Amino acid sequence: MNKKYNVIVVGSGIGGLLCAALLARKGMKVCVVEKNKQLGGNLQTFARDKQLFDTGVHYIGGLEKGQNLYQIFKYVGLMEELKLERMDECFDKILIGNDPTVYCQSQGYDAFVNTLAASFPQERDNIIAYCNKVKEVCASFPLYNLRLRGEEAHEYKGNNESAQEVIASFTTNKKLQAVLAGNNILYAGDGNTTPFHMHALIANSYIESSWKCVGGGSQIAKILGRIIRNHGGDILRNSEVTAMVEEAGVITHIELENGDCLYGDYFISNIHPAVTLKITRSRLIGEVYKKRITELSGGISSFSLHMVLKEGTVPYEKCNYYYHKEGELWNINNYMLPNWPLGYGLYFAEDKNRKGYAATVSVLTPMRYEEVSPWVHTYNRVGKEGFRGANYEAFKKQKATALMNLVGDRFPHIVQNIKSYYTSTPLTNRDYIGDPTGSMYGILKDYHDPLKTMISPRTKIPNLFLTGQNINLHGILGTSLSATLTCIMLLKDSSIIDNIRNA
């Protein structure tokens, strides 16, 4: 098979799928190439005991009409088909150590302030000041506001400031500090590295509006796949790319594991930049650039516990819970093995047959890649199954028990009603997503040197572009914005952002 396309997209995470859909809408003949059976990267779902689990997308922000992600999804044709439910006003509930109080982060800035001020009555002005800082930082990022340049001469704010220190500058109340950043698992919050702008951009999108995908986040990938095909595009699954080949200064084709070649005018890599460079045969990519990219640290990975519940036993809640041991909020990535885990995020899925009850609960906690180092030589995913061994199974069981015990302290009714459970580790993330160390959110951002981790969608090869969670921002919103920027650069056409904003 030696087909020719206008654009070939390698990897079908939401960044790659959005690029393909946006470019197909512009009349380009596109092809998406995915190594997995299922499209979607972190959008992928899996089924156990006839129940569906999300792997990475448990809720989405910014989908109210007119908000940034809504406009992107509307323009590309997603909003017409997407099945959503709005979460409760208190969308994230924060739990701290032995404190029995449940603290709320609420949708809408007025509700956000009022709810927190009810728990911290002396801190209202400080909460308002914090919200104003979040809004100021968000206003300084034109792309976040669906513009290429700010209406005023803004410069990016918060990318060289510590999230922990900025939040602490608004209040000396340690508990309020911990509540304001209580869901920092969303960006792998770390007191040593996390920039405030990451906290602000993500927090703002959920405060503006918070939503769950009814039936799992994989519907986003399925709908985008249909949009691509409806515009004449092709999608190849179970097709791993082994090489991107440059000739005479441009990438001419990619080679697949089965020996096939696909030719194109432009190429977009939605896989990790270090992996992209590894499979790119070209002298145009300098050793200094390669060294810089390959030496960038990956963010923390995760261990996930997916529980199927006994029918009709656990009430469904349209919110999430985030727990951390007191004083450990900014240290949950830096645990010692005996005190793991230091915190977690907990997510419900409703039973479609018994409304009002949860069918499943998923719990996610940080885990370093080094913990699974004895099994890094193993590989296991659908289509390339492998058994990692009895010791690995024992490792997962021990970790599941430790996490279950911590969850049971605050949610005994969940742990007591588990029908069955399943786990995933950094190796699962690595094998399915392709990140070298199974990072949840790609390359680690560090406020000490923000320029070091800024990776342009452009490369030294003029027809090779990058997209995905390692470019600019991670998450559904961040990756969607990155995809938009990649398409603008490829087409040399800034009207896309205007069309999205006015969709």
Q: Are 244 and 80 in contact (CB under 8 A)?
A: no
Q: Please report which helix (H) or strand (E) contains residue 169, including its range.
A: helix 163-170
Q: Which residues of the chain have pLDDT under 70?
A: 1-2, 150-158
CA–CA gap between residue 439 and residue 299 (Å, rounded): 5
pLDDT, residue 56, reads: 83
Tell me the pLDDT tens digit for each residue of 362-408: 999 999 999 999 999 999 998 889 999 999 999 999 999 999 999 99
* Sheet with 343-350: strands ordered across: 99-106, 90-96, 320-324, 343-350, 358-367, 301-309, 418-424
- Look up the pTM and report it: 0.95
Q: Parallel, antiparallel, or unpaired: how do β-strands 51-54 and 343-350 relate? A: unpaired
Q: Are 289 and 30 in contact (CB under 8 A)?
A: no
Q: Which domains does the chain have, with CATH numbers?
A: 2-83+215-296+443-501 (3.50.50.60), 84-96+105-210 (no CATH), 300-440 (no CATH)
CA–CA gap between residue 25 and residue 255 (Å, rounded): 26
pLDDT, residue 158, reads: 66
Find where tokens 């190849």 sit: 236
CA–CA gap between residue 332 and residue 345 (Å, rounded): 12
CA–CA gap between residue 64 and residue 99 (Å, rounded): 34
